[in-house]
Structure 1
Amino acid sequence: MSAFSDALSVTTGGLKSQAARLRVVSENIANVDTPGYRRKTMSFDMQRNDGGLSTVAPGDVNLSRTELPDIYDPDHPLADATGNYKGSSVDLMIEIADAREAQRSYEANLKMFDQTRQMSTSLMDLLRR
């Protein structure tokens, strides 16, 4: 049964990591028009448990270091004397692509979790006979 619990641990780590990634992407999409907002990115870390099994875990959240774009809008409350203000570094197309990738990765991990659970249940049924 150790192989089943190892498989469940690996897929659970993937589910948690992709859920955290989707949360970061959602924050970026929500702030696409927020002046001065810097895009957040998240890394993944590999962790080893006592048995030597490697699982993925959510890593650090970092802010984008790209230059914020200047937006010309003299009527904006944050505009300076030249009529410019700093916009957001979020590109909506990139965030949508990242969201789809995270969603598909989450679904793949969920499918593996379900298949492992079904295999475990089938094995237990066979052993009961």
Structure 2
Amino acid sequence: MSDFSSTLSLAASGMKAQSLRLRHVSENIANADTPGYHRKTASFEEVIEGGQKTGKVTLGKVDLDQKELTRIYDPGHPLADDNGYYDGSNVDLVVEIADAREAQRSYEANLRMFDQTRQMSSDLLDILRR
């Protein structure tokens, strides 16, 4: 039963990490038109407990993308400089949608693993009861 619980724990950590990743992607999409907004990026880190690798993952440190901000020409904008330009965001919606789709599919894969493990555990208990 220990293998079942560790597998469930691994799948749950993957689902949690992907849901946090999706949260950052949705924040990026929501702020795509916010002047001066820098895209948030995060990487995954392996969880280490007692000096041992567990196989679990967590979302690592959130960084701001240092890619140059888009310069937008709009002389009537309140943030425009003397030349009529202001800094937009560095969010690329195509990249964000691709990241969202990848996070969704990874979440679903972890969910399937979780469900299959739970079903196998339930089936094993049914067999042992006979």
TM over 0.5: yes
Whole-Å separation in 2 of the counterparts to 1:70 and 1:57: 35
Aligned residue pairs: how many? Answer: 129
The question of 1:84 aligning with 2:116 is answered no
Q: In the TM superposition, what is the alpha-carbon distance from 1:53 to its structure 2 partner?
A: 2.5
Q: Structure 2 counterpart of 1:68, which letter?
A: L
Distance in 1, matches of 2:24 and 2:11, equals: 20
The structural deviation recorded for 1:52 is 4.9
What is the RMSD of the two structures over their aligned residues, measured on CA atoms?
Answer: 1.1
Aligned to 1:9: 9
Give unmatched runs, 5+ long, in structure 1: none
Percent identity over paired residues? 63
Query: Could you list the runs of 4 or more consecutive aligned residues of structure 1 that deviate by over 4 angstroms after TM superposition?
Result: none
Q: Distance in 2 between matches of 1:49 and 1:18?
A: 21
1:85-104 C-alpha deviation (Å, 9 max, x unpaired): 00100000000000000000
Q: In structure 2, how many angstroms separate the alpha carbons of the residues matched to 1:31 and 1:57?
A: 24
- Secondary structure at the counterpart of residue 54 of structure 1: strand
- Please report the TM-score for the alignment, with normalisation by the length of structure 2: 0.96
**1:43-54 to 2 correspondence within 5 Å?**
43-50=43-50, 52-54=53-55
- Give me the TM-score of the superposition, normalised by structure 1: 0.96
1:96 equivalenced with 2:80 (yes/no): no
Unaligned runs of 5+ in 2: none
Counterpart in 2 of 1:42? Answer: 42
Residues 46 and 54, structure 2, Cα contact 8 Å, conserved in 1: no
